[in-house]
């Protein structure tokens, strides 16, 4: 099996496409797809047959059908939005598109039509606060979280919601927020593939916070916060995305400023983190993705316009650089899906 790789090249108004060898990680360029208006976040349907991309200057969301064999994209439709989202995801049924709006101070839900395209107007357009940066449901599809970073009036909290998969509506959970220490700035999060654990990258705090997830109440309880920076380093840096390998043994979180990727081991019993090390990344490593088998990690430098392919050591979890290539001006999202 091989993979299809899609990278939104925001500064050039296009989607860069590659085929990826599942054994070597080698990338082969495919025909790009023009998409004006600074394309950025990508959301996939649960079956990976449809891709939604936000166009952050045009204030639009465009939906594409993905050919499973060739990886070619066919446009299904485009809808307007009031302001640009910084994050999108589908719910577990694939019937709703969730989006978070940093400047728009909003969490939104759009229905997805029978043809796979997002539908306008939104079902939900809920004002939350400045700095909304991520929006996902849990495995049960009953609960959702929207972290908000710190600074310039942003709430510096994780908002907790109940999600109704029948209607697509959300309402605050009890309690509605997970408070944070000053200058933490929760940004993105991911779920452990097997445990009831949530990992959150802290933008201002340059760390990862580990939370116990109560699957009955849908609420988070803090367990651990660990730095993503080397001990003793005092420069300016901010965290970006966060991902766990499919096996649930390793976690990675890039540092923008230190320009590195922090590597962590996940304890098999507790889900807590221990530092493995740091690997040098391209300038401003804003986005990255791990392949479905957990063998490779692709990291793009927002400032450099370069993409690094890392091999993930299956025993140690350490990253080894095996290739670098130019991909274009301001890569804003990386997505890897199986071919065929």
pTM of the prediction? 0.98
Task: Say what percent of the chain tops pLDDT 70.
Answer: 100
Q: How far is CA 198 from CA 82, 131, 212, 223, 251, in A?
A: 30, 20, 7, 10, 11
Domain 38-179 listed as CATH 3.40.47.10: no
Question: In the predicted model, is pLDDT for residue 63 greater than 80?
Answer: yes
Mean pLDDT of the chain: 97
Question: In the predicted model, is pLDDT for residue 1 greater than 80?
Answer: no
Residue range 203-226, pLDDT digits in tens: 999 999 999 999 999 999 999 999
Separation of alpha carbons 197 and 192, rounded Å = 6
- Name residue, tokens 């779920």: 191
Residue range 226-254, pLDDT digits in tens: 999 999 998 999 999 999 999 999 999 99
Collect all residues with Cβ–Cβ distance below 8 Å to 187 and sequence separation of at least 6: 133, 134, 147, 149, 200, 201, 202, 203, 239, 240
Q: Please give the full DSSP string across 148-205, using - where no structure is assigned.
A: EEEETTEEEEEEEEEE-TTT--EEEEEEEEEE--TT--EEEEEE-SSSSEEEEEETTT
Structure token digits, residue 311: 């091999």
Collect all residues with Cβ–Cβ distance below 8 Å to 58 and sequence separation of at least 6: 36, 37, 38
Residue range 20-45, pLDDT digits in tens: 999 999 999 999 999 999 999 999 99
The per-residue b/e assignment along 34-69, b for 16 or more CB within 10 angstroms, e otherwise, is: ebebbbbbbbbbeeeebbbbbbbebbbbbbbbbeee
- Across 150-175, average pLDDT: 97
Task: Give residue 175's pLDDT.
Answer: 98
Separation of alpha carbons 264 and 249, rounded Å = 9
Residue range 257-304, pLDDT digits in tens: 999 999 999 999 999 999 999 999 999 999 999 999 999 999 999 999
């Amino acid at each position: 099996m091989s993979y299809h790789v899609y990278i939104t090249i925001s500064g050039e108004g296009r989607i860069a496409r590659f085929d990826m060898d599942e054994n070597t990680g080698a990338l082969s360029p495919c025909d790009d797809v023009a998409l004006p208006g600074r394309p950025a976040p990508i959301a996939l349907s649960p079956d990976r047959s449809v891709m939604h991309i936000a166009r952050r200057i045009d204030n639009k969301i465009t939906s594409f059908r993905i050919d499973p064999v060739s990886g070619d994209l066919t446009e299904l439709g485009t809808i307007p939005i009031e302001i640009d989202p910084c994050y999108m995801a589908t719910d577990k049924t694939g019937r709703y598109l969730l989006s978070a709006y940093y400047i728009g101070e909003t969490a939104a839900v759009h229905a997805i039509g029978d043809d796979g395209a997002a539908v306008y107007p939104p079902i939900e357009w809920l004002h939350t606060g400045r700095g909304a940066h991520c929006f996902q449901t849990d495995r049960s599809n009953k609960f959702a979280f929207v972290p908000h970073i710190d600074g310039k009036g942003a709430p510096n909290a994780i908002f907790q919601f109940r999600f109704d998969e029948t209607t697509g509506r959300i309402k605050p959970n009890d309690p509605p927020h997970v408070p944070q220490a000053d200058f933490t700035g929760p940004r993105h999060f991911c779920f452990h593939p097997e445990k009831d654990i949530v990992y959150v990258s802290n933008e201002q705090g340059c760390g990862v916070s580990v939370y116990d997830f109560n699957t009955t109440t849908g609420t988070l309880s803090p367990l651990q916060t660990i730095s993503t920076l080397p001990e003793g380093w005092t420069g300016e840096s901010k965290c970006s995305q966060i991902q766990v390998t499919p096996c649930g043994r390793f976690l990675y979180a890039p540092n923008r400023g230190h320009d590195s990727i922090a590597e962590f081991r996940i304890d098999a019993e507790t889900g807590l983190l221990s530092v493995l090390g740091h690997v040098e990344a391209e300038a401003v490593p804003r986005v990255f993705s791990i392949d479905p088998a957990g063998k490779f990690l692709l990291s793009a430098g927002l400032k450099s316009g370069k993409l690094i392919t890392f091999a993930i050591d299956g025993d140690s979890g350490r990253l080894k650089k095996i290739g670098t290539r130019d991909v274009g001006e301001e890569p804003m999202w990386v997505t890897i899906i199986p071919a065929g």
